[in-house]
Amino acid sequence: MSARRIFARPARFAAIAPYVWMVLFFLVPFGFVLKISLSQTAIAQPPYEPVFDLTAGWTAIRAAFAALGIDNFKLITSDDLYVFAYLRSLTVAVTATALLLLIGYPIAYGMARLPKRWQAVAMVLVIVPFWTSFLIRIYAWINILQHDGLLNQFLLALHLVSAPVVWLSTDTAMYIGIVYSYLPFMILPLYATLAKMEPALEEAAGDLGAPPWQVFWLVTFPLSLPGVGAGVLLCFIPIVGEFVIPDLLAGSNSLMIGQTLWLEFFTNKDWPVASSAAIVLLVVLLLPLLLYERLQRRQLEER
Amino acid sequence: MRKFSRLSRFNIASLALGLAFLYLPILILVIYSFNASRLVTVWGGWSLRWYHEFFGDRAMIEASWMSLRVAVASATIATLIGTLAAVALARGERFRGRTLFSGMLYAPLVMPEVITGLSLLLLFVALNAERGFWTVTIAHTTLTMCFVAVVVQSRLGSLDRSLEEAAMDLGCAPVRAFLSVTLPLIAPAIVAGWMLAFTLSLDDLVIASFTTGPGSATLPIRIYSEVRLGVKPEINAICTLVIALIAIVIVIASLASKLSSSQGKSAAPL
């Protein structure tokens, strides 16, 4: 038996603690969300009817299943508020992800073209804001975007506008906030694939007479698709459920699903409906993940 | 002809603009935290007034203390368990439920925080656990151990396995080979993982809001409730202090990863 094999066994034992932890605090909680999403709303503490009591035995379990209902899901799919919240979340996520790709790609491309030593520096510079608090970075933008904030002062001083522009509590502010916060998540996977790419391929295309835009579109971009996929996924999924940025920067008239869920939970205290909303959100988000996985597997098979 | 691998003016411009976009807002925030004027946007000269105000604000100090305790506790637990998870993923080859295991480890990285927070709260309510320090710590550990696992795993992956194998060929038991050969080599990544877990915990608002009880608000929860009421210069000062703390953490982490790159191949990405 090789040393590699011998080492594999204790390494498997290393999985026990994290495995148990993740099952207990990641997987099991979803069971509770599912259970409560199927239970009745009640004005109580906790604000839902318990529908499950293992100590009472089989009859209780049967009774519990009989009491489960999909009313909350019916409510969510028929209530315009929820339908609009899901649609808005998806629209915002698609738009923001497209913006991120447009802005992040040239930056990642520039990084990959730097001399090796400077690439490491640029990478640290991109990662550092990711370490800096999310909330603080959003708050920094409130400072800038508010009515008498620096952006308006700047625009007024340059006589680009004659009166202060309303930035805060608009979708523009929200998109600025989202792009700002998620930019490192887009740049890093893009940079990783672009830096690994063989420059000779681009040169060859150029030598064969392709103009730069054609080189980019027919060679560079297709080769960077794995990075594009990873970056898009890394940004899209969390943005759909985003709560803090739209809450602080966007107007209050149209809510995203993360905010609706939060309100349902903390303000209306309707836990079953909030749980159902969370389940639906989860299903919506699993779809792009599964699609991405299938695509990746197909790419591996082609190789 | 090296036409395309050369750095063009467009490359430099996009890099410079991108970095300016990332750094200017933070820089402005820090500068304005030393502003003497009550109005956040009018410059009234340099002053430490808002820092004084922060240190006199008991609720804020208590929240900061709570945040620091949670961050230290959860980062420590997350580093222990996350490192074990990384070892299992990088060295465990095949074991029962490996796919589920890696799926569970990667899912929290992209899962919207609202869902993670909600599900954990429902668990704690079902268990009748009193919400406060420990529930937030457990929630943060669950989130941050995944980041630790990713960082440590990438370091383990770039490590030369023959070192471990040599130790075992010389009669070292696998666990001892790990402790005396592998562990020192991945130590910088473990340090970086702890730092990352610490800052993520210090930063988290959504999950903490779901899993904390009355009277044990963390700093982000306090800041959030203040910010919703409008911009206050005191918040600039608090944010600057947090940024300073995180900057110190980053310096330590980058020193650790520099140490690791001088020992072996490239360092962990974070």
Q: Give the model's pLDDT for residue B265.
A: 44
| pLDDT reading at A190 higher than 90 | yes
Please count the residues of chain A: 303
Tens of pLDDT, residues A127-182: 888 777 778 888 888 888 887 778 888 888 888 888 788 888 888 999 999 999 99
Mean pLDDT score of chain A: 81
Spell out which residues of chain A touch residue B223, defining contact as CB-CB under 8 Å.
135-136, 139
The whole model's pTM is what?
0.83
Tell me how close the Cα of B170 comes to any Cα of chain A, in angstroms. Answer: 11
**Residue B2 pLDDT > 50:** no
Closest C-alpha to B119, from A239, A241, A235, A185:
A241
pLDDT, position B269: 43
Given a contact cutoff of 8 angstroms between Cβ atoms, the answer to whether B59 and B129 are in contact is no
A17 contact residues in B (CB cutoff 8 A): 80-81, 84
Look at B118 and A10 and tell me if their CB atoms are within 8 Å.
Answer: no
* Closest CA of chain A from B257, distance in Å: 11
Look at A188 and B269 and tell me if their CB atoms are within 8 Å: yes
What is the structure's pLDDT at A61? 56
Q: Tell me if B138 and A25 make a contact (CB, 8 A cut-off).
A: yes
| pLDDT at residue A302 tops 80 | no
The answer to whether B3 contacts A206, with C-beta atoms less than 8 Å apart, is: yes
Q: Using an 8 Å CB-CB cutoff, list chain B residues near A128.
A: 250
CA-based Rg of chain A, rounded to a whole angstrom?
A: 25
pLDDT band at A90 (very low <50, low <70, confident <90, very high): very high
pLDDT reported for residue B63: 92
Q: Which residues pair with A48 in a beta bridge?
A: A41
**pLDDT (tens digit, 9 = 90+) per residue, B32-41?**
888 877 766 6
Q: For residue B103, give how far its alpha carbon lies from the nearest alpha carbon of chain A (Å).
A: 10
State the pLDDT at residue B267: 40
Section B104-127 average pLDDT: 88
The amino acid occupying position B57 is D
Chain B positions in Cβ-Cβ contact with residue A3 (cut-off 8 Å): 164-165, 168-169
Rounded to a whole number, what is the distance in Å from the CA of B124 to chain A's nearest CA?
Answer: 9
What is the pLDDT confidence band of residue B6, given thresholds at 50, 70 and 90? low
- B206-222 average pLDDT score: 90
Cross-chain residue pair A281–B112, CB shorter than 8 Å:
yes
CB contact under 8 A, A243 and B113: yes
Give the closest-approach CA distance of A13 to chain B in angstroms.
8
Q: Does A294 score more than 70 pLDDT?
A: yes
Whether the pLDDT of residue A213 is over 90: the answer is: no
Which residues of chain A make contact with B71, given a CB cutoff of 8 A? Answer: none
Query: Which one has a higher pLDDT value, B162 or A9?
Result: B162
CB contact (8 A) between residue A132 and residue B243 = yes
Q: How far is CA B198 from the centre of its chain?
A: 5
Give tens-digit pLDDT for B18-30. Answer: 898 889 888 888 8
Residue range A5-16: average pLDDT? 70
User: Which residues of A are less than 8 Å from B82 in CB distance?
Assistant: 18
Which of B5, B161, B236 shows the shortest C-beta gap to A199?
Answer: B5
Q: Nearest Cβ partner of B168 from A6, A261, A282?
A: A6
Contact A6 B23 (CB under 8 A): no
**Residue B130 distance to chain A (closest CA, Å):** 13
The residue type found at B189 is: A
- Determine whether the interchain pair B5/A17 forms a contact, defined as Cβ–Cβ distance below 8 Å: no
Distance between CA B161 and CA B198 in Å, rounded? Answer: 30
Look at B4 and A203 and tell me if their CB atoms are within 8 Å: yes
Which residues of chain A make contact with B32, given a CB cutoff of 8 A? 143
ipTM for the assembly: 0.83
pLDDT, one tens digit per residue, over B139-152 is: 999 999 999 998 89
- The answer, yes or no, to whether residue A52 has pLDDT greater than 80, is no
Q: In whole angstroms, what is the distance from residue A237 CA to residue A94 CA?
A: 10
pLDDT of B181 over the 80 cut: yes
Q: Which of A62-66, A174-178, A255-259 has the lowest mean pLDDT?
A: A62-66
